[in-house]
Structure 1
Amino acid sequence: MKIGLYFGTFNPIHVGHLTIANHLAEHSDLDQVWFIVTPQSPFKKKSTLLDDHQRLEMVYRATKDYVKLRPSDIEFGLKQPNYTIDTLTYLFEKFPEHEFALIMGEDNLKSFHKWKNYELILENHSIYVYPRLSKGNVETQFSNHPKIFNISAPIMELSSTFIRKEIKAGRNVRPMLSDNVWHYIDEMNFYR
């Protein structure tokens, strides 16, 4: 089985995440997309995140009605801060029957050369890149790489940061979230 790994803090998961993941599950050779809930990104401050299990619960609620989309807490037990190469190594050992590919926005591809052991990642895994509205040239050193696939997915310029700010300001964000996630955030008074 070929699994696409969609990494993120998902703080919160929103309809943009779901749209991109579902598009890849339906329009590529990926059999499933796993949302890898990241406990602590090396690039984000821990203090801005909801508890790991609350974010996992939101991903579970958002994906439970989609057969090809799955939540994953695989990084919760790994040493923090964690790097993608470590997660991929662990997944390969735990699920040798699966082939794993990365899913990332083209904005992340621009800085991919700065990732820990990026050459090893590219040697062993495909990367599916979804479009973003971006300023400047999106050409990178990876533009013609045989393991990097540009996917013609809908462009979703919705961010979790924007949603958190809108909630804090008391504005209605319900259309930006799946119903299950919106109800959970509302019930728990998150981001207020």
Structure 2
Amino acid sequence: MKKVGLYFGTFNPIHIGHLVIANHMAEYSHLDEVWFVVTPLSPFKKKKSLLANNHRYEMVYQATKDYPKLKPSKIEFGLPQPNYTVNTLAHLDEKYADQYSFCLIMGEDNLKGFHKWKNYEVILENYDLFVYPRISEGKVEHQFKDHPKVHRVNAPIMEISSTFIRNAHKEGKNIRPLLPQEVWSYMDEMNFYR
């Protein structure tokens, strides 16, 4: 049975920071694959600047197609909105019970707010969390600090954000080095984030 790390996000757009972290998780942990789960609408984000689902999925597909251990996933597109991770995990377990076991990949900043997630106790009881470092302020909740299901992975710290990329692109800045070539080409051709 393959062990799959689920990397949730709006990926608006996906950038090299996402790829570096996902690839590090696939190569330096006991995960067999990392799936980029493209989220239609996060309960914590506003939809104002969000590209259509199919465009964000296409950019993730373009970014990952040459990496056998990294896969795009649109599993949440057909689930009730807004998406909650606990529901997606239940759906995936039901659909792929014999093929895959799942765990979550998240940044340290997300772990700090993890106690606010819907049914976070159920997630923590049934799934491992692989946490990558972020430069941020504030403390991680004590209950997660030494939890046996929370695994800190010494991945490179990537302080690139999709928000920064969108804003810089709108201002006419050259952001090409921050994106996989195929993502840049698609974004430019479609005239996104201008």
Please indicate the TM-score interval, normalised by the length of the shorter structure: over 0.9
Name the SS of the counterpart of 1:166 in structure 2: helix
1:33-59 residue CA offsets vs partner (Å, 9 max, x unmatched): 000000000111122200000000000
CA separation in 1, counterparts of 2:83 and 2:61? 22
Structure-1 separation of matches of 2:166 and 2:9: 15
SS at match of 1:88: helix
Q: Any gaps of 5 or more consecutive residues in structure 2?
A: none
2:7 alignment partner in structure 1? 6
Give % identity: 67
Q: Give the corresponding residue for 1:65.
A: 66
State how 1:1-192 maps to structure 2 within 5 Å.
1-97=2-98, 98-138=100-140, 140-192=142-194
Give, in whole Å, the separation in 2 of the partners of 1:96 and 1:69: 20
For residues 140 and 160 of structure 2, the distance between their equivalents in structure 1, rounded to whole angstroms, comes to 19
- TM-score (normalizing by structure 2): 0.97
Partner Cα distance (1:117, 1:131) in 2: 24
Q: Quote how far apart the aligned CAs of 1:61 are.
A: 0.2
Query: What's the CA shift for 1:129?
Result: 0.2
Q: 1:138 Cα shift? A: 4.0
Structure 1 CA distance for aligned equivalents of residues 110 and 144 of structure 2: 12
Does the aligned pair in 2 maintain the 1:61–1:181 contact within 8 Å? yes
How far apart, CA to CA, are the structure 2 residues paired with 1:69 and 1:5?
10
- For the residue of structure 1 that corresponds to 2:131, the secondary structure is strand
* Alignment-mate amino acid for residue 59 of structure 2: M
Contact 1:109 1:140 in 2 (8 A): no
Aligned-partner residue type, residue 154 of structure 2: S
The Cα of 1:139 is off from its aligned counterpart by 5.6
1:142 aligned counterpart, secondary structure: helix
TM-score for the superposition, normalised by structure 1: 0.98
Report the Cα distance in structure 2 between the residues aligned to 1:93 and 1:155, rounded to whole angstroms. 34
Q: For 1:76, what is the secondary structure of its paired residue?
A: helix
- For residues 141 and 105 of structure 1, the distance between their equivalents in structure 2, rounded to whole angstroms, comes to 17
Deviation at 1:136, TM superposition (A): 3.7
SS of the equivalent of 2:135 reads: coil
Q: Distance in 1 between matches of 2:28 and 2:192?
A: 34
